[in-house]
Chains A and B, each alone.
Chain A
């Protein structure tokens, strides 16, 4: 009996039971649906075993959208709980679980896969390659990430969600103060997903360094590829810290080690330090690719080349270095003294300088341009002032003496949402709208798209501006409720209304996809936006080999030069193309990881040992497997090309 008890949710409520039933029904519906339409074989052949970077990218996208929904529901629940004083909608334990999962889901399971989707889909196309450097490793990355995501979400219905905050500071996260398995899920699910991210970091760096089209020197890469390159370099330096950190945390919780305990030589501050040594660069892993997307979009719709290409690259390099030397600003109040605080205060403020350079470069890209207001451009134009606002409040937070007053308050919450939403989320939606025709062969409706952008921005301002004020009025973050006497009921209500308006904008986004699937024209050619870089030089839909002939590049905007200056992109003739074979092994190995993770969470050691052996067997099998890929014949390529060229008309 004792054994089964641990699987029950420790604080059940009507909401959780309701969610369990609906999740169960949805899963059942999916299984029945796939069986009824006899799609299991299709799913296995075309998606689960695929090593095609475009398909893996789309799977990342679907996961990100699903998690955006989950994190969004968490957000609405929190805002509703706080909209009235002494609200009893969520009790404090539930509220703690909700803000913990909101943070983790939005950062690690929404924003990360969203940018990884862009990495996957765009990097090979932008550098004129046929796939990433290690296609099968890429599939493994996805499936590890996916299983980590699945395991994390399972905590909601089996055993209970983590409740120690997304930062999971020790000793709060240790067994004494977090006795449920929730934090075990945190340690192990993020570990599995994190290994996936680390592997893809290595994969993309190799791809960008080794597989660029002839003529594309580093300083001729499109800006998104540059940002992706730097972000992945940060991944490779930062994620090992997370791996070690989570391993130590797991050992403290499961094996009784004393890394982060408060006696026996343990040190709880060590967790906070290591967490932010990873956590701060992580923020830049998210924002740099977003900057890359804005650079592509702004230059496309200003109909001009990107102003200050070199300083854009230099500023990203400087940001990546600085991102590793500012982590202490997350806990200026830990008591490390005036000197240490002063040093980190200066390094933090210094980051504003390269970021400012980027803002000015975008403004100067618009200068003397011919600005077309499409939906992606609208998001980018809204991004500039809103992100600047978030950036300058960051400089305010960087003043460490004043930070003693901002720290742990809603002011901080307002600040980081103010950089992440206009910075990352707008970029993701703008990028999605921009590349949608490339992926699916039709455009999203512009009218609905623009409405979405405006409504989202109004909702955003209403949600987060009041938080700056309540923070200065003494509202600490993560408070599950407050008394009426505190005096911030009104502003919290405004915030809830704003969150509701943002929710409406996301419903509109989904409606736009539905509407465009039904009514949008399929006759759009391969370059509907009159764009500038290589990814638009191939057909729509993109054939599996991307480019029939590898392009030759002479500038940062090769495709634009082809259109305007008579640059010849495809000089060679069609030859047979070497492509990797599909493989089910990444999926099988990730399944072992999933069961391994689950067994670790509940300390079921026999299963842990068996699955660990399973993982090692998969690795050994791969090491000895002889798979030299396959060739696509010239005839087949010519047929595909003819068909796609015909479809263009």
Chain B
């Protein structure tokens, strides 16, 4: 029976590690950007280290169970009374302390890496994208390009992207596993997530934080392309897409699922990200201002600044 445990666990560990390293890589362990790479490296390192710990514990357990089981011992064997030994216990504390210190150093280093502009892309100005969620959609606003998309995200590869995240409803979590880990989007503040894609490609993106009935399908497509292709796309959008209006945006915010759509202008104009709101009075003033505002003139203004 003791052998069963040993084999069950060994097979399990072997299966897990083969699956993790074998032909079809898991999303998280198949990074396509520097942030995801940092995280995947941390994960693999900790898997190996932790497997070693599990194996050591298992080996000691199997050894004592085989050696000291009652059926192998004489009837008159009386186990001794042992209080404990300072040396043994110091070792049992010392080794884990060393492991924890080692992992802490790596963890701290990685924390500062994933919270700043991705390594290797510091020389360029990052592209700023506002990603906001509503039940159960994602709205992507490109203030510099003056474009807004729903449920799909085009980004230039080889350039740092700085996502500004917030929500028009419950807390959500913006996650593109192959580019990097997630971060919360909340209604009363803006959070920042630094990502970058090393090469063009298509990725899955989703809301990872439970947000009600439509949560499972709260997903979006990510396409990374060359800077030239990205610029072409921006020009094309400006030629073909309709401008986003306050009414149109209100309609988009209604709970439900939507396909992809594209607009010129951004909703940041009339419904700014929470960091611009300092208390309720400010937003009321802004709202009343916008009531008299002609939406088309806003787009014209923005286009002027673009030229």
Interface residues in chain A, defined as those with a beta carbon under 8 Å from any beta carbon in chain B: 92-93, 96, 164-165, 169, 171-172, 177-178, 262-269, 272, 302-305, 307-311, 331, 333-335, 337-338, 341-342, 345-346, 349-350, 352-353, 356-357, 359-361, 363-364, 366-373, 378, 381-382, 384-385, 388-389, 392-393, 395-396, 398-405, 407-409, 454, 457-458, 461, 465, 468-469, 472-474, 476-482
Q: CB-defined interface of B63-74 with A at 8 Å, one 1/0 digit per residue?
A: 011001110010
Partner of B104, one of A302, A307, A345, A388: A345
A-B contact pairs, 6 of them (CB 8 A): A302-B68, A311-B84, A342-B107, A367-B68, A372-B70, A401-B111
B216 A92 Cβ-Cβ under 8 A: yes
Contacts A264-B280, A384-B57 known; A405 to B43 CB distance under 8 Å? yes
A356 touching B96, Cβ below 8 Å: yes
CA distance A389 to B54 in the complex (A): 6
- Closest residue of chain B to A407 (Cβ to Cβ) is B182
Complex contact A307–B42 (CB within 8 A): no
Instruction: Please encode chain B, from 265 to 280, with 1 for each CB lying within 8 Å of some chain A CB and 0 for all others.
Output: 0000000000000011
Shortest Cβ distance from B95 into A: residue = A356
| B258 at the A interface (CB under 8 A) | no
Cα–Cα distance between A345 and B108 once the two chains are bound (Å): 8
Q: Which residues of the other chain, A, contact B4 by a CB distance below 8 angstroms?
A: 454
Contacts known (A169-B171, A345-B111, A367-B68); A304 close to B80, Cβ less than 8 A: yes
- Neighbouring A residues of B223 by C-beta, 8 Å: none
Of B24-32, B147-155, B240-248, B296-304, the stretch lying at the interface with chain A is B24-32
Collect the chain B residues with CB atoms within 8 Å of residue A409's CB.
208
Enumerate chain B residues within 8 angstroms of A405, measured Cβ to Cβ.
Answer: 28, 36, 39-40, 43, 177, 180-182
Asked whether A400 and B92 contact (CB < 8 A) given A338-B112, A408-B208, the answer is no
Contact of B111 among A268, A338, A458, A477 (CB under 8 A): A338
A396 B46 Cβ-Cβ under 8 A:
yes
Q: Report chain B residues within 8 Å CB of A311.
A: 84, 89
Contact B107 A333 (CB under 8 A): no
A344 to chain B, nearest CB (A): 10
Q: Contact between B110 and A402 (Cβ–Cβ < 8 Å)?
A: yes
B83 / chain A contacts, CB cutoff of 8 Å: 305, 308-309
- The answer on a CB contact under 8 Å between B170 and A308 is no
User: Across the interface, which residues of A come within 8 angstroms of B60, CB to CB?
Assistant: 363
- Whether A399 contacts B68 by the Cβ 8 Å rule is no
CA distance A328 to B57 in the complex (A): 29
Closest 7 CB pairs of A and B: A404-B181, A335-B191, A401-B110, A392-B50, A262-B187, A172-B170, A308-B84
> Are A465 and B187 in contact, with the CB atoms below 8 A?
no
Assess whether B84 is in contact with A395, with CB atoms less than 8 Å apart: no
Name the CB-closest residue of A to B94. Answer: A353
A267 near B54: Cβ-Cβ < 8 Å: no
User: In the assembled complex, how far is the CB of residue A100 from the closest CB belonging to chain B, in whole angstroms?
Assistant: 9
* B-side contacts of A360, CB under 8 Å: 89, 92
Please indicate the chain B residues that have their CB under 8 angstroms from the CB of A404 in the complex: 39, 114, 180-183
B288-306 interface bits toward A, Cβ cutoff 8 Å, 1 = contact, 0 = none: 0000000000000000000
Task: Please report the C-alpha to C-alpha distance between residue A264 and residue B68 in the assembled complex, in whole angstroms.
Answer: 66
Alpha-carbon separation in the docked complex, A465 to B8 (Å):
12
Q: Measured between C-beta atoms, what is the minimum distance from A398 to chain B in Å?
A: 8
Shortest CB-to-CB span from A342 to chain B, Å, is: 4
CB distance from B212 to the nearest CB of A (A): 6
Asked whether A357 and B188 contact (CB < 8 A) given A93-B213, A350-B100, A401-B38, the answer is no
Q: Are A399 and B187 in contact (CB under 8 A)?
A: no
Kindly list chain A residues whose C-beta atoms are within 8 Å of the C-beta of B106.
399
Taken residue by residue from 202 to 226, chain B's Cβ proximity to chain A (1 for < 8 Å, 0 otherwise) reads as: 0010111111111110000000000
How far, in whole Å, are A162 and B109 apart by their CA atoms in the complex? 41
Interface pair A403/B181, CB less than 8 Å apart: yes
* 8 Å CB interface, B124-168 against A: 135, 165
In angstroms, how far is the closest chain B Cβ from the Cβ of A501? 13
B54: contacting residue among A93, A349, A385, A402, CB under 8 A: A385
| Given known contacts A349-B104, A357-B92, A384-B61, A371 and B68 CB-to-CB distance under 8 angstroms | yes
* B186 within 8 A of partner (CB): yes
What is the CB-to-nearest-CB distance from B150 to chain A, in angstroms, rounded to a whole number?
19
Given A92-B216, A334-B191, A368-B80, residue A401 in contact with residue B93 (CB < 8 A): no
A399 to B189, CA, bound (A): 25
* A199 smallest CB distance to B (angstroms): 33
Check B42–A385 contact: CB distance below 8 A.
Answer: no
In the bound complex, residues from chain B placing their C-beta under 8 Å from that of A478 are: 210, 215
Given A335-B184, A356-B96, 9 other A-B residues pairs in contact with their CB atoms under 8 A: A169-B210, A262-B188, A263-B280, A268-B187, A342-B108, A395-B50, A401-B113, A454-B1, A477-B210
Q: For B38, B103, B180, which residue has the most chain A Cβ atoms within 10 angstroms?
A: B103
CA distance A370 to B177 in the complex (A): 50
Contacts A350-B100, A353-B100, A367-B64 given; does A402 touch B43 at CB 8 Å: yes
B199 within 8 A of A: no
Interface of chain B residues 83 through 103 with chain A (CB within 8 A):
83-84, 88-89, 92-93, 96-97, 100, 103
**Given the complex, which residues of A lie within 8 Å of B171, measured CB to CB?**
169, 171-172, 268, 272
Do A369 and B68 have beta carbons less than 8 Å apart? yes
Tell me the bound Cα distance from A96 to B208 in angstroms: 15
Given known pairs A309-B84, A357-B92, A408-B173, the reply for A370 and B73 (CB within 8 Å) is yes
CB-CB nearest in chain B for A262: B187
Whether A304 lies near B79 (C-beta < 8 A) is yes
Given the interface pairs A303-B79, A392-B54, the reply to whether A268 lies near B110 with Cβ below 8 Å is no
Q: Looking at the assembled complex, report how far the CB atom of A268 sits from the nearest CB atom of chain B, in whole angstroms.
A: 6
Report the minimal beta-carbon distance from B183 to chain A, rounded to whole angstroms.
5
Q: With CB as the reference atom, state the residue of chain A lying closest to B62.
A: A385
Q: How far is the CA of A334 from the CA of B50 in the complex (A)?
A: 27
Chain A nearest CB: distance from B266 CB in Å? 21
Q: How many Å lie between the Cα of A479 and that of B182 in the bound state? A: 16
Q: What residues of chain A lie closer than 8 Å to B15, measured between beta carbons?
A: 465
**Which residues from chain A contact B175 at a C-beta distance below 8 Å?**
408, 476
A263–B116 CA distance with the chains assembled, in angstroms: 29
B122 neighbours in A (Cβ, 8 Å): none
Inter-chain contacts of A309 with B (CB < 8 A)? 83-84
Q: What's the minimum C-beta distance from A367 to chain B, rounded to whole angstroms?
A: 6
A310 to B89, CA, bound (A): 11
CA distance A407 to B135 in the complex (A): 21
- Cα of A333 to Cα of B215 in the assembled complex, Å: 18
Q: How far is the CA of A404 from the CA of B195 in the complex (A)?
A: 12
Most buried by B among A304, A345, A454, A472: A472
Give A567 Cβ to nearest chain B Cβ, in Å: 14
Asked if A473 and B27 sit within 8 Å, CB to CB, the answer is yes
Bound together, the chains give a CA A341 to CA B112 distance in angstroms of 10
Beta-carbon nearest neighbor of B108 in chain A? A342
Verify B213–A96 contact, CB threshold 8 A: yes
For A93, A169, A477, the residue with the greatest tally of chain B CB atoms inside 10 Å of its CB is A169
**In the bound complex, what is the Cα–Cα distance between A373 and B68 (angstroms)?**
11
* B16 in contact with A469 (CB, 8 Å): yes
A449 to B: closest C-beta gap in Å = 13
Which residues of chain A are within 8 angstroms of B189 by Cβ–Cβ distance?
Answer: 335
Contact B107 A356 (CB under 8 A): no
Distance between B225 CB and nearest chain A CB, rounded to angstroms: 22
CB-based nearest B residue for A263: B280
Q: Which of A171, A385, A393, A468 contacts B9 (CB 8 A)?
A: A385
When chains A and B are docked, how far (Å) is the Cα of A605 from the Cα of B237? 57
Q: Which residues of A contact B107 (CB under 8 A)?
A: 342, 345-346, 349, 398-402
B249 CB, nearest partner CB in chain A, Å: 18
Q: Which residues of the other chain, B, contact A399 by a CB distance below 8 angstroms?
A: 42, 46, 103, 106-107, 110
